[in-house]
Amino acid sequence: MWVDDEIDLLKPQLLFLESKGYEVIGLTNGRDAIDYLETNKAVDIVLLDESMAGLSGLETLDILKTKRPQLPMVMVTKNEEEDLMEEAIGAQISDYLIKPVKSQQLLSSIKKLTEDKTLIRERTTTNYQQAFQKMFTKIQELEDCKGWIDFYKELVWWELELDKSASVDVHEIFQMQKREANRAFTKFIERNYVRLLNDEDEVIFSHQVLEKWFLPTCHKAKHTLLLVIDNLRYDQWKVLQKFLTDQYTIQDESLYFSILPTATQYARNALFSGLLPNDIIEHYPSLWIDEQAQGSKNKYEETHFKSFIERKSTQIDKVDFFKVANYEMGKSLEARALNVINHDVTAIVYNFVDMLSHAKTDMEVIKELASDDRSYRSLTESWFKNSPLRQALIALAQKDVEVILTTDHGTKRVKTASKCSGEQSITSNTRYKAGRKLTYQSKDVFQIKDPSSIGLPSPSLGAEYIFAKDENFFVYPNNFAHFANLFCDSFQHGGVSLEEMIVPWIHLKPK
């Protein structure tokens, strides 16, 4: 619909658009445009002259927006004054064209606003189909951690791009390629994990990241916040990123490896202490709680963190630490976070994503909302957009606080139940088991017979660890069908996968 009080003078442009397959409704005033939209819903875009007798273009725009807020509207005017342009943009105009409008310029604006998503989807699908074989070949050739980190970034980039595509077939092809990548990554970890833990030149693990990456940042910044969002995967960070770019520049976006098991007790304690679990037990035996013991396995994180700072830095005097473990604690976060400026370093653990992933197996509404990776990302995005955490970060940007945003491990969407059993004392986690006399399907697991070889405690004499591979999760033979159904399509952690092991480390600096 083109609304202009000199519509007859625009006949050449109208004929041009009709030649390109568009049906054009020409009207001469704002009132007729409003009346027309009342009874005709099949309008895809509105072109509005700014200077018209009666209702002006901006006045017409305001009324049309109340009736059809999602309808693209383009202001077409001879007036190039900046204040008019700003007023039109403030009124959420979709585009702004200056008369005389060239036909190709007009066509470009209309295509962008009416066909943009379709064109992007088609181009993305075509580009991925062309990249598929190259990525498949690359999977077979990856031999080091840097290669896997770069490939995982590429894989996530394509996943987010393909979220824009409606093609079910392309999504299925991508999921197949991601499964193939995870199988190859697991084989790489099986062959190299013991060696990699002792090779700081190839990759940074949980217990090394604070010393290698965090302390250098702290020593340069006036105030630093270490924000650990439990269970935050790299793909989830990428959808949250846009909510912080107005306040922060991304100084660094790196990925490090979570230790095994990719579970909170192990990975997060290693992160804050700067030590592998066995070293924690050796040097601070009272700060490690065994798997079989009752109570929280992460109750000493603050002690670990402050002890690490004392051991490794003489430049940091004032340290604070607190957790947000529930909604009520989250509501008070913004006020509490402003206390960051009274300390050199503050660490905050935020448990929302962890609660979300665990809740999925218990709450039907969550299971419905997070039925796959795409909806899981969307749910995380919706939470963060309206969260007190985002408001706290916006406030801290005004206080010149630098932020390190990271996590302890990721999560994996699991689909296939794998039978596992052992002595009564074996651990209950669905993606790893530790204990004696374990029976399992060998093809589904990465096995470690000597826990000390990877810095892990042995729960009992002769105990071993097994870690789930691919999309598998462990279920006891008793009541197998019930638990297989309960955990299928849930998000779990503890095992070996790209999503669980390769996790984000983001340095945000206030603008």
The domain that holds 385 is classified in CATH as: 3.40.720.10
Q: In the structure, what pLDDT confidence band is assigned to residue 402 with cuts at 50, 70 and 90?
A: very high
Confidence of residue 237 (pLDDT cuts 50, 70, 90): very high
Judgement on whether residues 382 and 345 belong to the same structural domain of the protein: yes
DSSP readout, 164-232?
A: T---HHHHHHHHHHHHHHHHHHHHHHHHHHHHHTT-TTT--BHHHHIIIIIHHHHHH-SSEEEEEETT-
- What confidence score (pLDDT) does residue 82 get? 53
Read off the tokens for 143: 């031999």
Q: Any idea which of 46-60, 121-135, 173-187, 459-473 has the lowest mean pLDDT?
A: 121-135
Residue 439, in any domain of the structure:
yes
In this structure, the answer to whether residues 342 and 395 fall within a common structural domain is yes
Mean of pLDDT values over 344-358:
78
Stronger pLDDT, 82 or 76, i.e. the higher one: 76
Q: Which of 36-50, 75-89, 345-359 has the highest mean pLDDT?
A: 36-50
Looking at the predicted structure, is the pLDDT value of residue 490 above 90?
Answer: no
Q: Are residues 221 and 167 in the same domain?
A: no
Q: How far apart are CA 72 and CA 58, in angstroms?
A: 14
Sorting pLDDT into bands at 50, 70 and 90, what band is 291?
A: confident
pLDDT at 198 over 90: no
Query: Last residue of a domain, which of 83, 114, 145?
Result: 114
| Least confident interval from 35-39, 84-88, 135-139 | 84-88
Instruction: Tell me the C-alpha distance between 130 and 392, whole Å.
Output: 43
Distance CA 486, CA 375 (A): 19
221 plus 335 within the same structural domain: yes
- CB atoms closer than 10 angstroms to residue 123: 12
Mean pLDDT score across all residues of the chain: 89
Average pLDDT of the segment spanning 33-43: 86
Q: Which residue has the higher pLDDT, 294 or 382?
A: 382
Provide the domain limits for residue 423: 415-488
Which of residues 73, 99, 114 is at a domain's end? 114
SS3 360: coil
Instruction: Judge whether residue 504 has pLDDT over 70.
Output: yes
428 and 387 in one domain? no
**Over residues 232-249, mean pLDDT:** 96
3-state helix, strand, coil in the chain (%, to 5): 50, 15, 30
Instruction: For residue 252, give every residue at least 6 positions away whose Cβ sits within 8 Å of its Cβ, in sequence order, or none.
Output: 505, 506, 507
pLDDT, greater one: 41 or 486: 486
Has residue 181 got a pLDDT over 60?
Answer: yes
**What pLDDT is attached to residue 268?**
96
Give residue for tokens 């826990």.
Answer: 451
Quick one: 99 and 130 in the same domain?
A: no
Residue 91 confidence (pLDDT): 52
Q: Which residue(s) pair with 325 in the sheet?
A: none
Asked which of 322-326, 415-419, 475-479 is least confident by mean pLDDT, the reply is 322-326
Residues 217 and 322 in one domain: yes
Task: Read off the pTM.
Answer: 0.81
Q: What is the rounded distance in angstroms from the CA atom of residue 65 to the CA atom of residue 310?
A: 59
Q: What percent of the chain has pLDDT over 90?
A: 61
